[in-house]
Amino acid sequence: MNDSRRHRTAAATCLAVTGALLAAGCGGEASGSAAETSSLKGAPVKVMVWNPEDTQGSAQPGVRLTAQAYEKWINAHGGIKGGPLKVLTCNEKNDPDEAEKCAQQAVADKVVAVVGSYSLAGDRYMPILQKAGIPYIGGTGVSAAEFSNPLSFPVNGGTPVVFAAHGRQLVQDGCKKISGVRYDLAAAAIVSQFLTLGAVSAGGAPPKDLKVPVTATDLAPQVAAATKGSDCVSVILGTHSDLFVKSYVQSGAKTKLGSVVGNLTPQLAASTGGSGSPLEGAAITGYFPPTSDPAWKDFLAATKGDKDIDVSNGANETTWVAFKVLTEAAAKLPSISAKTLVQELNTTSGIDTGGLTPALNWQTSTALPIKGLNRIHNTTATELTIRNGQIEWAKPGSTFVDVRKVLAAIPAG
């Protein structure tokens, strides 16, 4: 098998592992208050959200909390076509068996969609949803099935898009010699491959690929290797990126740092000096605008005061965008059902998310022409930075960058 074919095949099968690098039992309904919903006389719109909580793995409680915040907010603003949104929740516990149970519960409860959820077990839940005709709107791009199943409607391009865009951003920021630091896992090699694809497409040299043992806690050796002979380091260790930054600070290195959203965070910047942090000026590549952008005003209003919702978390942001898509698509339907939603999403010329993404559609003509990734339609990313301890646009007037041509140029194998 040639290199290009290995690249394309692996890209479609190992996104679940790289999902941990991008972010960090079934419950009942979580409806808005009676005062908010009593005036809504239209038919209820029932959906489900699942995510891992109370687990030793990568917990994402903010996904559920964001969904519940959207439910309360939209019901206070007229609901969906005059009817209340009702969000059912399910804890999939980072367990494929539990994820399958969540999907079965969604079918039993006759939800019209599963929206903005987070799970690595797409190969288990997507066939169940597909058989029942229930669309999966949003997701978080951490499961290969999200980018291949015809009932999946992702709102971002996941690992392929964001890492290709990141390599491009680093080179355009002047990085001539880049080191990429990622975990020593076979599947995580995909991160390095897309990073390389982006860097080379922008005229840069292939980044140095440095592997970190999954059990490592002292990353001083990796910091030394990454900073030697490099002018930029992309830290791709997910919620454990703090281990690298800790050793980096201790080393006294001055090499510029960067990553995709979810790795080098405002919280990590705050803990290492705020505006004086070594993360100041880091090149951060994301899916969406920074939360200081006016496009997020409703999200910020809906979550104001809730310290348990990190508004800069990519999984939480994706959940909000997914609910925006649900609302906009449902508003066009005379009768809201799973079947009519699927038809609307597959044929729409564009869903307006209020500037959080470009207009979204899932028509065949806009699919990324790569087998296994053909449900990726939004191939844009955002170039951001850490400024004064916060994630902001990299430059004034920045907007979405599209890496479709970069990805589509991968030779068919």
Q: What is the DSSP string of 137-185?
A: EE--S-SGGGGT-TTEEESS-HHHHHHHHHHHHHHHTT-SSEEEEEES-
Task: Based on the fold, state whether residues 217 and 275 are members of the same structural domain.
Answer: yes
Co-location of 128 and 27 in the same domain: yes
How many domains is the chain partitioned into structurally?
A: 2
Q: Are residues 132 and 144 in the same domain?
A: yes
Distance of CA 409 to the CA centre of its chain: 23
Q: Is residue 351 part of a domain?
A: yes
Q: Is residue 396 included in any domain, yes or no?
A: yes
The answer to whether position 413 is within a domain reads no
> Does 229 reside within a domain?
yes
Residue 218 lies in a domain: yes
C-alpha pair distances (Å), 273 with each of 234, 245, 246, 345: 20, 12, 12, 45
Whether residue 72 lies inside any domain: the answer is yes
State how far Cα 203 lies from the chain centre: 27
CB-based contact 381:393 (threshold 8 Å): no
Note whether 275 and 189 are same-domain residues.
yes
Whether residue 138 is found in the same domain as residue 27: yes
Q: Length of the chain, please?
A: 413
Contact call for residues 187 and 18 (beta carbons, < 8 A): yes
Same domain, 153 and 165: no
Asked if 107 and 125 sit in the same domain, the reply is yes
Provide the pLDDT for residue 143: 82
118 and 72 both lie in a single domain = yes
pLDDT in tens, the chain (413 residues): 444 444 444 444 444 445 555 554 444 444 444 445 668 999 999 999 999 999 877 789 999 999 999 999 999 999 999 999 999 999 999 999 999 999 999 999 999 999 999 999 999 999 999 999 999 999 887 888 999 999 999 999 998 999 999 999 999 999 999 999 999 987 678 889 999 999 999 999 999 999 999 899 999 999 999 999 999 999 999 878 999 999 999 999 999 999 999 899 999 999 999 889 999 999 999 999 999 999 999 999 999 989 999 998 899 999 999 999 999 999 999 999 999 999 999 999 999 999 999 999 999 999 999 999 999 999 999 999 999 999 999 999 999 999 999 999 876 54
The answer to whether residues 105 and 40 belong to one domain is yes
Q: What is the rounded distance in angstroms from the CA atom of residue 392 to the CA atom of residue 390?
A: 6
Determine the pLDDT at residue 36: 56
Is there a single domain that holds both residue 313 and residue 205? no
pLDDT for residue 112: 98
- Both 88 and 127 in one domain: the answer is yes
Domain enclosing residue 269, as ranges: 159-286+383-408
Residue 217, exposed/middle/buried by CB under 10 A (0-12, 13-18, 19+)?
A: exposed
Residue 328 maps to which CATH number?
3.40.50.2300
Distance separating alpha carbons of residues 49 and 26, to the nearest angstrom: 10
Q: State how far Cα 229 lies from the chain centre.
A: 32
- Give domain status of residue 251, yes or no: yes
Residue 46 φ/ψ, nearest 5 degrees: -100, 125
Q: Is 259 contained in some domain?
A: yes
Q: Give the pLDDT confidence score for residue 21 in this predicted structure.
A: 55
pLDDT of residue 412: 58
Whether residue 48 is found in the same domain as residue 143: yes
Q: Is the Cβ–Cβ distance between 139 and 19 less than 8 Å?
A: no
Scanning the structure block, which residue is given the tokens 């041509």?
405
Helices assigned H by DSSP within 77-121: 96-108
